[in-house]
Amino acid sequence: MSRVTALRKNSLVELIFIVAIAIFLALAVQAYAVKPYRIPSGSMEPTLDVGERVLVQRVTTRLGSDPAIGDIIVFHPPAGADAIPAACGAPAQRGTPCAKPTKSRSDQTFIKRVVAVGGDTVSVRNGLAVVNGRTQPAPFAASCAGGEGCNMPRSITVPKGSVFLMGDNRGNSDDSRFWGPVPDGWVIGKAFATYWPPGRIGVR
């Protein structure tokens, strides 16, 4: 074997090794650190459009950091969240948000905004979350326009270790109002940036 042939063979082996390492690192990053997510519905409009693609960081969740009010998170909803009507884990009372999720989680993934955390009392007025007696401003949200769930004046207390979630499209979002708070352990991660389409690229 000539020296040139040997060098070419070594270069090919090195290239294959580098590509394999790169693929491994990309898969590891997606599995443990950052994961892409496609927006499947209009429940987060106008903040996130249908088909928009966001990056979800999973590091803080894996390190035990709890979601905070205002965070946009990807999570597993309770089983029955996609039913019509959505399943609530507690007897439903008119004018009251769902106080308890079903016991098991769904394999689906949803994306919503955190409006209250464990220990908070929450009700809904004109599509706005009223947390601990104070109406939370939401300039990012679409008007509720009198739809179902726009007014739920009877408050519930969010269980410790859970979050209460609402879509920014307040009149067209199936969320914690109907299927209850979500345990922190069902949270996948926080959406922190849009990477597609080009005109929407930016940090969230």
Determine the pLDDT at residue 190. Answer: 95
The residue with tokens 């790169």 is 22
Residues contacting 22, CB < 8 A, separation 6+: none
Per-residue pLDDT at 25: 38
User: pLDDT of the chain along its 204 residues, tens only?
Assistant: 565 454 445 555 555 544 444 433 344 444 446 889 999 999 999 999 999 999 998 765 544 578 999 999 999 999 999 998 999 999 878 899 999 999 999 999 999 999 999 999 999 999 999 999 999 999 999 999 877 899 999 999 999 999 999 999 999 999 999 999 999 999 999 999 999 999 998 887
CATH 2.70.70.10, domain 35-203, yes or no:
no
Does the active-site annotation cover 160? Answer: no
Q: Tell me the CA end-to-end span of the chain in Å, nearest whole number.
A: 57
* Residue 2 amino acid letter: S
Question: Given 35, 43, 155, 190, which residue is catalytic?
Answer: 43
Q: Give the model's pLDDT for residue 27.
A: 40
Taken in order 51, 57, 60, 61, the sign of the CA dihedral is positive
Q: What is the pLDDT of residue 2?
A: 60
DSSP per-residue letters across 119-167: T-EEEEETTEEEETTEEPP-TTSBP-TT-TTS-EEEEEEPPTTEEEEE-
Among 112, 162, 176, 190, the active-site one is: 112
- Predicted pLDDT at 9: 52
Catalytic: 103? no
